Each structure stands twice: as C-alpha cells, then as structure tokens.
C-alpha cells in the first residue's frame, strides 16, 4: 500500500465525517478558487451541458476560476458532491501534501487552513497511524 493509499484510507476515516458534519469553515469557502481539473470533474461541477471550451488549458485539463464553486453549499458550508467519485482530485487530496520518496524520506504535510487538523493531537495521531512525520504547512 502506498503512502497515498494509506492517507486516503487512514486519514480520511476520521476527517471525512468531520468535513461532512462538523466543519464550520470548509476549505473552499473562498470567493476566488482556482480549480485545475479534468473534463469529467468540471462537467460534474457545471452540469452536463456546460460549454467547457473557455476553461480549457492544456494536457486535457480545465481551469475554473469564476468565484465560488457552484457545488459549494453556502447555507450549510458543505461541498454538495463531497462523496462523488468524480469530485476534482485537488479537492479530494486537500488538506494533505504527500512526499512519497520511500523509507525515511516519506512525510505528510497538512494545510493549516484545515479546521480538523488544527488540533495538535490529531496531527500526532495521524503520524502514529501512518508511521511517518506529519506537520502543519503554514
């Protein structure tokens, strides 16, 4: 199992329920997101019939930066497609940044904007479960 797999399995076990039920901030609660994503994910966000041509960048990727994501539920501060398998990868991997070089060089950094991870004991617990260094990324 790769470190990425372990993060997906172990870290999200506790984080996802918090994102869905408790988080009061939500990572994408911003007026200007820049979302680099795939065609499938952008169709999921903008609707099946959306014209994606103006968002096309390169390598089959698309860039959306028109304010708040349409899938962000402003009333409940939640992502409406959080559990969908085609949610953009960038959203899926937040708040983790993973270095997976192997052995002692592996580490996981956590974005400091993540409400769940702001408690030091959660960082320590994650480090224990993953058996790698985990720190807050300022």
Site residues, ligand SF4 (CB under 6 A): 15, 18-19, 23, 25-28, 33, 35, 45, 69, 71-72, 79, 81, 87-88, 91, 94-95, 114-116
Place of tokens 């795939």: 38
Quote the least distance from Cβ 21 to ligand SF4, whole Å: 10
Start-end of H helices in 24-119:
39-46, 89-93
Quote the least distance from Cβ 113 to ligand SF4, whole Å: 6
Quote the least distance from Cβ 81 to ligand SF4, whole Å: 5
Closest CA to 115 of 20, 39, 47: 20
Classify 67 as helix, strand or coil: coil
Quote the least distance from Cβ 118 to ligand SF4, whole Å: 9
Find the angle CA(44)-CA(22)-CA(96) to the nearest 5 degrees.
60
Smaller CB distance to ligand SF4: residue 67 or 105? 67
Sign of CA dihedral 52, 77, 114, 2: negative
Smaller CB distance to ligand SF4: residue 27 or 61? 27
């Amino acid at each position: 199992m790769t470190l990425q797999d372990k993060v997906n399995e172990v870290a999200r076990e506790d984080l996802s329920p918090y994102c869905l039920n408790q988080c009061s901030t939500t990572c994408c609660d911003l007026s200007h997101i820049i979302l680099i994503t795939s065609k499938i994910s952008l169709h999921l966000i903008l609707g099946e019939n959306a014209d994606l041509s103006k968002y096309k960048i390169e390598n089959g990727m698309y860039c959306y930066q028109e304010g708040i994501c349409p899938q962000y539920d402003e009333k409940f501060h939640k992502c409406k497609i959080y559990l969908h398998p085609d949610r953009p990868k960038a959203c899926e991997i937040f708040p983790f940044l993973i270095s997976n070089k192997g052995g002692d060089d592996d580490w996981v950094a956590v974005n400091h904007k993540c409400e769940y991870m702001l408690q030091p004991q959660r960082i320590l617990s994650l480090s224990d479960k993953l058996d790698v260094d985990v720190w807050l990324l300022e």
